[in-house]
Amino acid sequence: MARRGRKPKVNFWQSSRSTIISGIIAIVVIIGLFVIFNALPATQPAKQTESTKTEQSNDQSTEKSTAKETPKQDTSKQTTTKLPAKHTVVAGDSLWDISTKYYEDGYKWVLIATENKIANPNLINPNQVLNIPKADTKVREYTVASGDCLWSIAEKFYGNGFDWTKIRDMNPGKIGILSNGEPLITPGQTLVVP
């Protein structure tokens, strides 16, 4: 027999259902915002303030006055340089730029890297002295025959198929890539072999 004036028992989950659902939604929204903000690029250009603009204009006027006092280094192309030669790396140099300067062909940077035993061509340091070899003694052209692959061409020239990457690196833009990541060369194609 039920007593009068007594409320029936309410299950905890039934009474807290809306609170729990609201909490879950809040957690999902917070995680979603966290993911979105971490996916955005970290560096976005800052807006220039008046003080920043003033500082930049002062720096530019200082640079102009010091540029008048000190003579600029000649960075023009040296077409009369005899090879082999030596090159001292300056800040901002890359093997591509150096190759363009001496060979008038940026793709021959591999010659400089090979001659100087540079393991990572992206890491050259200012004041580093590089030997610039003659280009004609180290580079050969090879016409791809039917059935050739970079491995077999490397075996022909170097006696080691593992050196196929030298040929790939010397011919950027000429060698395609298959969907499985393998290099693609076609019969009749001319490749430069360092």
User: Which tokens go with 9?
Assistant: 């028992």
CA 115 to chain centre: 23
**Which structural domains are found in the chain, ordered by start?**
85-132 (3.10.350.10), 140-193 (3.10.350)
Q: Which residue has the higher pLDDT, 38 or 190?
A: 190
Task: Give residues with Cβ within 8 angstroms of 150, minimum separation 6.
Answer: 164, 167, 168, 175, 183, 185
Structure confidence by residue, pLDDT tens digits, 29-52: 998 887 777 766 544 444 444 544
The residues with which 132 forms a beta bridge, in sequence order, are 85
By 3-state DSSP, what share of the chain in percent is helix, strand and coil, each rounded to 5? 45, 10, 45
The pTM for the full model equals: 0.34
Evaluate if residue 172 carries a pLDDT over 80. yes
Structure confidence by residue, pLDDT tens digits, 21-35: 888 999 999 988 877
